[in-house]
Amino acid sequence: MAMIKFDGINFNWDSMLKEIKKRKGEEKLQPEMEEAAKKAYNEGVPRLKMQAVIETFDVDGIENESLLLSVPGQGIEKIHIGPKTGYLMPAEKAAVIFCTVGSPLVDLMQQYEEEGDYLTMYYLDVLGVKALAEVAEKMRRHVEEEAVKNGWGVGPFMQPGSVDGWTVEGQRDLFRLARPERIGLRLNDSCFLIPRISDSALIGMGAHYDSSKVGSMCHECPRREQCLWRRENAAEN
């Protein structure tokens, strides 16, 4: 088990604007949009509390579209994945990961929403999503490095709700295994993470994986065609 804290981000407010310009197909945005982006960046960055937790389990096998994990002191846990469980068949170990940017940024977003400043709120959300992507990327690298130590490869970054047949309710299983309440996370009644700019994932590791890099599951996501993130990240298609 590891709980990891991250300091600093690798982008500035201008890079946030570049993505908006790309999305809108415009070379220049309105001055108030630029000011809102600067404001969101300057106020939001100090409120980022980027953390992750990772737990790694031995894989005991695959049974009826479920992953069997050996949990110390508890025996075998059966995690239903669905028809895409095959992505985990080469796995000897599975890493369960939770990432978050923390609640202070989300609290600030709520403050601006209550004040009716939706533009600043929007850019705070952009900031949070980009920061979360950096945390997730660092956790991918962490898993890759652990796999290399064993001479193994790695599977894709599999997330409940983004894999055909594995609904968001699957977060309940991952939550039980990784215990991310240690980094301030909880699940609501719909199995969404609170605070909301957070995510979870499952990554397989083993000698029979061909890749040394954790890949994307975008091609399996039921929301593929509607996903703005995918359209703006062609390398992940």
Question: First vs last Cα of the chain: how many Å apart?
Answer: 31
Domain span holding position 49: 2-232
Q: How far apart are CA 153 and CA 163, in angstroms?
A: 21
Q: How far apart are CA 202 and CA 184, in angstroms?
A: 19
Counted domains in the chain:
1
Q: Give the pLDDT band of residue 234 (cuts 50, 70, 90).
A: very low
Q: Is residue 76 part of a domain?
A: yes
Report the CATH number that the domain containing residue 162 is assigned in CATH.
3.40.109.40
Residue 164 confidence (pLDDT): 86
How many C-alpha atoms does 233 have within 13 Å on its Cβ side?
13
Q: Is residue 237 part of a domain?
A: no
Q: Is residue 65 part of a domain?
A: yes
Q: Give the pLDDT band of residue 32 (cuts 50, 70, 90).
A: confident
Predicted structure pTM score = 0.89
Q: Is residue 7 part of a domain?
A: yes
